[in-house]
A and B are shown apart, each in its own frame.
Chain A
């Protein structure tokens, strides 16, 4: 699984950090997403998929490398 994030789209709602804190974080000054792990392994993938699904701004893209 390969994860990319779009900082311009991100609205800082924080749902991804809540669901997968090992993979996503937020910038301190404006809450915008920071990708910690672009190729998360199991067992993190289910929560990363959920994070991508609930991201309100569609700022998380998943692909298979």
Chain B
């Protein structure tokens, strides 16, 4: 006789997380996630350390739990389903709970309001047009990631934060190491340390010579004694990484997805309707869902949901990539359709941690998707889809390179 196992924790058949995507389906979440979603809204997975947090795969339950104040994002709490053995919070307020999270987040929200973001649109249009001019005047084929997808958001976030763009090799390399799932804890800590040191130096410079950027505003708070200088630097690191890695991957992977769906690309290229462009951005955010490492949380109290009881201290993994493919929330979810209403997607997460920079990301992507294909109407993949290196190893999904010709 084997020992009786409690019914809500079956030992056999618990899949490991993270999971792998299927060969030849680079735009779809791992098939195991779909299988788990069909089994029920809450199942269990096994992590690298043998722990077995809940896996929440359906849209409604993901939203309910991410918005539940009994659910914590604090990585230092026991039970938090950590991605590695490092449990220190080196990345700032995204891994903290309210009220401290809200206090820090509100210090940096001003440049990301809808109004301020809209005011930046002409500047972003200029950046996009200039980079396209350069590509058209340069070699053909070209790597779209290096020549366009990465520079657009890097230039924008550098302007906004007050980081010199000339240092882009330095901060892009370090941020690459931080978000690579295969980096060791030591490598990641080293890269974070270098970026924190760099941002700390910039904050110091802004204390002496303030200008009209976000780091200067944080420096002013440091000067006023409202914010420790180290925390200001951590916030700078967070916004610098989040500000370019995500949008860059949406630009390159979005272009690849559209090239694989030529009728959608044509509709987008030929429209004059900003509403269709905005809708296409929402659909590509839903369909591609690049932050594919699963939102991670820990329960602070017992929570009853979907006929199960999540116990206080249980870890939760909420992969919004499969939530965005839940047929209960989106009809025919595996089809890319820029004409659908996808605005209720959870690509930016849900709850109080929902992406702070989403208005900026939306605007940047609207400018890019409405300009790039119109100005380069013969844009095509230079090479085979099978040869494209995908970021299976990144906590942000995308492509390392995208060779294109026109």
Contact = CB atoms under 8 A, between A and B. Distances in A.
Listed residue (A11, A26, A28, A54) with the most chain B CB atoms within 10 angstroms of its CB:
A11
B352 A57 contact: yes
A32 to B, nearest CB: 7
Nearest to B107: A30
Contacts of A19: 343
B114 A18 contact: yes
B113 A28 contact: yes
Interface string B182-213: 00000000000000000000000000000000
A33 to B, nearest CB: 10
A12 B67 contact: no
A12 B109 contact: yes
Q: How large is the interface on A (under 10, 10 to 19, 20 to 34, 35 or more residues)?
A: 20 to 34
A14 B350 contact: no
Interface in A9-39: 9, 11-15, 17-19, 21, 25-26, 28-32
B274 to A, nearest CB: 13
Interface in B309-324: none
B385 to A, nearest CB: 34
A29 B220 CA distance: 14
User: For chain A, what secondary structure do more than half of its interface residues adopt (helix, strand, loop), or is it mixed?
Assistant: loop
Interface stretch (B284-292, B299-307, B355-363): B355-363
Contacts of A21: 114
A1 B71 CA distance: 31
A26 B355 contact: no
A26 B111 CA distance: 11
A50 B343 CA distance: 9
Contacts of B344: 50, 53-54
B358 A14 contact: yes
- In which size bucket is the chain B interface? 20 to 34
B114 A14 contact: yes
Contacts of A53: 344
Nearest to B362: A18
Contact of B343 (A31, A54, A56): A54
B389 to A, nearest CB: 33
Q: Which of B66, B354, B358, B362 has the most CB of A within 10 A?
A: B354
B15 interface: no
Contacts of A50: 343-344
B105 interface: yes
A12 B105 contact: yes
B114 A26 contact: yes
B112 A12 contact: yes
* Centre residue among B66, B106, B356 by max chain A CB count within 10 A: B106
B349 interface: yes
B333 interface: no
A9 B102 CA distance: 9
B366 to A, nearest CB: 12
B113 A12 contact: yes
Interface of B: 66-67, 102, 105-107, 109-110, 112-115, 117, 343-344, 348-356, 358-359, 362
23 contacts: A11-B102, A11-B105, A11-B353, A13-B348, A13-B355, A13-B356, A14-B112, A14-B358, A18-B359, A18-B362, A21-B114, A28-B110, A28-B115, A29-B110, A30-B107, A30-B110, A31-B106, A32-B106, A54-B343, A56-B351, A57-B351, A57-B354, A58-B67
